[in-house]
Chains A and B, each alone.
Chain A
Amino acid sequence: MELLLQQVLAGLANGAIYALMALAVVMIYQAIDHLNFAQGEMATFSTFIAWQVIAWGQPYWLAFAIAVTVSFLGGIVIDRILFRPIHNAPILGQLVAFIALFSILNSVDGEIWNFTIKTFPTPFGREPLFGLRLISTHEAGMIGVTAVILGLLYLFFRGSRLGLAMRAAAANPDSARLVGIRVGWMIALGWGMSAAIGAVGGMLIAPVVFLEPNMMLGVLLYGFTGAVLGGLSSPGGAVAGGFAVGVIENLAGTFIPYFGRDLKLTIALVLITAVLLVRPSGVFGRTVVSRV
């Protein structure tokens, strides 16, 4: 029983990161109808920046702040310079642009910081939480930070004018323009926020999986999975999906024989595919009913 609880909590902890990535992915998707395949690489790059700042002797929270800020600005720049000019190109062409960004960031990471794994500190420590062997303080920190971010985002989108404007720009860009909203900048802002969220996710998972250029590959995949599972039209669903994937992954890896580390990935994906077959638009997604 204790093992089950432990694994569920550990799954939730990892799931928190998947939830963050899923949220970042869905935010961009709502803005531009595209999945940002480079989301993970952007997060890795940000984490490396934080690592570098710490390596230069600066305190953790300063590095954190710098990484988040740089990511925010970087996301805006990437949108304005890279994706805005091609937003009228065919969908598959834009997809290749995302792939290109992925390739560039991954390569640059490897070149600047090489491929040996690095440890990344955690501000939460790694002791068992409250002395119980259920969950470590860092894992609790992951869940906690994710909850805080989700709360802040909820308040922002529901309670502020800018949040309202962003929601409008995503929901109906033409109408948004007709009320004077600068839709292009709303999209850029979405990119910036998404990049910042990704950065936080990267910095939270790095202490667990160790920092190296390919760190986020699996994480991003699980993030996508969570987003699709929850439904790409629902940020809340994406978050729930992310947590669910974390738990499923952990439980499958622990309790199903034969399926050690290697097949964990496959299991999660297969399960998700199975879910999609039953609910093709994700658990919380809206089936798009198109009128002919």
Chain B
Amino acid sequence: MTMPSREATEPLGTARRAAAISRPGARYLSIGAAIAVALVLPSVATNFVIFQLTLVMVYGLAILGLNLLTGFNGQFSLGHSAFYGIGAYTTAILMDKIDLAYYWTLPCSGAVCFLVGVVFGLPALRLQGLYLALASFALAAALPQILKFQPLEPLTGGVQGIVLIKPDAPAGLPLNPDQWLYYFTLAVLLVMLAGAANLVNSRTGRALMAIRDHPIAAAAMGINTALYKTLTFGLSALYTGIAGTLGAIAVQFVAPDSFTFFLSISFLVGLVIGGVASIPGCLVGGLFVLYVPNLAERVSTGLAGAIYGCIMLLVIFVMPSGAAGLVRFARAFATARPAR
């Protein structure tokens, strides 16, 4: 009598354990752990590593911006280097010309990029897939040339760009500029990550994904696709623009050739490697895009690009859905119950 009941409960018990892995409680625990690690890191790392980690967060945020548009809303963009650059330059110009404090430049560049995103998103409504890619590419290619444009030089600093000064920690905090900037970026990142997660899990988020998966059906259900798509463009530009701001402050320098379409390509690579439509994946993408090219260069300066390309190919072959896809696969594998 006891044997059958044990057999009957064992699968159930495992299933319960499996459900526990994906239960919200466990999720918050892992997020909390990650934040804790992030908070502690600067005390054990060198300034240079702190700087690199700051950039990882910056790129992760930029990729998150792209993810909102491409991953969650299905609009393909090769132009995000432009939004990043616009954010960076807005900050640089405001800090350089009118001495605005760095933290006030955040909402400013956010607003500017949001507007630019919406302005671009409107005509983009008419374009599909690759045609949209080309148009956004045009945007990305145009930005460096506009920045180098002679008549605008007094504002943009032309080819030489603008130099910025890294802000000090507010009085009283025992942090050097690199550490302070790290925490500042971390704080902004967490806020924006939370915002994105909130959006994605809300009705609006579902509407966005419906538009991505089946635009006709979405429209038939009464979703105002035009409105959502345009606003998403703006929001996506805002995220990437704020990343640009933080990046500019971290690097202390903006110049036209830092914001070529190759940067757009990097964001795209980061998006795919991290996992399309995955919010935590963006940080994995940021890590990849920052560290792997460096790694490749250390193996061989001449063939750095080739090695980078090979690593990319390896990742695509092994995990075509990116890191997030791998996690999903592993989770499904761990909780799979052999049926009979």
User: A: which residues have CB within 8 A of B?
Assistant: 35, 82, 85-86, 89-90, 92-97, 99-104, 106-108, 110-111, 221, 224-225, 228, 232, 258, 262-263, 265-266, 269-270, 272-273, 276-277, 280-282, 290, 292
Contact = CB atoms under 8 A, between A and B. Distances in A.
B41 interface: no
Contact of A224 (B134, B217, B269, B302): B134
B199 interface: no
Contacts of A277: 123, 126-127
B316 A228 contact: no
A239 to B, nearest CB: 17
A215 to B, nearest CB: 16
Contacts of B313: 82, 97, 100-101
Contacts of A103: 305-306, 308-309, 312
Contacts of A280: 126-128, 131
Contacts of A107: 302-309
B166 interface: no
A271 B306 CA distance: 34
Interface string B93-131: 000000000000000000000000000000100111011
A292 B142 contact: no
List 5 tightest A-B contacts by C-beta distance, closest first: A107-B305, A269-B138, A89-B320, A104-B309, A103-B309
B216 A292 contact: yes
Contacts of B312: 96-97, 99-100, 103
A238 to B, nearest CB: 13
Given A103-B305, A110-B302, A228 B141 contact: no
A270 B136 CA distance: 10
Contacts, number: 127
Given A96-B268, A99-B265, A111-B306, A86 B130 contact: no
Contact of B309 (A89, A101, A111): A101
Contact of A276 (B131, B268, B303, B320): B131
B138 A89 contact: no
A277 to B, nearest CB: 5
A263 B131 CA distance: 21
B149 interface: yes
Instruction: Say what secondary structure dominates the interface of chain A.
Output: helix
A92 B145 contact: no
Interface in B246-295: 265, 268-269, 271-273, 276
Interface in B308-340: 308-310, 312-313, 316-317, 320-322
Nearest to A264: B145
A281 B320 CA distance: 29
A214 to B, nearest CB: 11
A100 to B, nearest CB: 4
Given A100-B312, A104-B309, A225 B134 contact: yes
A122 to B, nearest CB: 29
A224 B137 CA distance: 11
A273 B309 contact: no
A100 B316 contact: yes
Contact of B269 (A99, A101, A106, A266): A99
26 contacts: A35-B130, A82-B313, A86-B320, A90-B321, A92-B70, A93-B322, A95-B272, A97-B313, A99-B268, A100-B312, A101-B309, A104-B310, A107-B302, A107-B308, A228-B134, A258-B150, A265-B142, A269-B138, A269-B142, A270-B142, A276-B131, A277-B123, A277-B126, A277-B127, A280-B126, A290-B216
A90 B276 contact: yes
Given A97-B316, A276-B134, A108 B127 contact: no
A95 B148 CA distance: 30
Contact of A273 (B135, B271, B310): B135
Contacts of B265: 99
B146 interface: yes
A110 B123 CA distance: 39
Given A99-B268, A101-B309, A107-B305, A273 B320 contact: no
Q: Which of A103, A228, A263 has the most CB of B within 10 A?
A: A103
A269 B141 contact: yes
A86 B303 contact: no
B316 A89 contact: yes
A100 B321 contact: no
Given A97-B313, A99-B269, A263-B145, A270 B303 contact: no
A221 B130 CA distance: 13
A85 B314 CA distance: 12
Given A100-B313, A111-B302, A277-B126, 16 more contacts: A90-B272, A92-B271, A93-B321, A96-B316, A99-B265, A99-B309, A103-B308, A111-B303, A263-B149, A266-B138, A276-B131, A276-B135, A280-B126, A280-B128, A281-B128, A281-B131
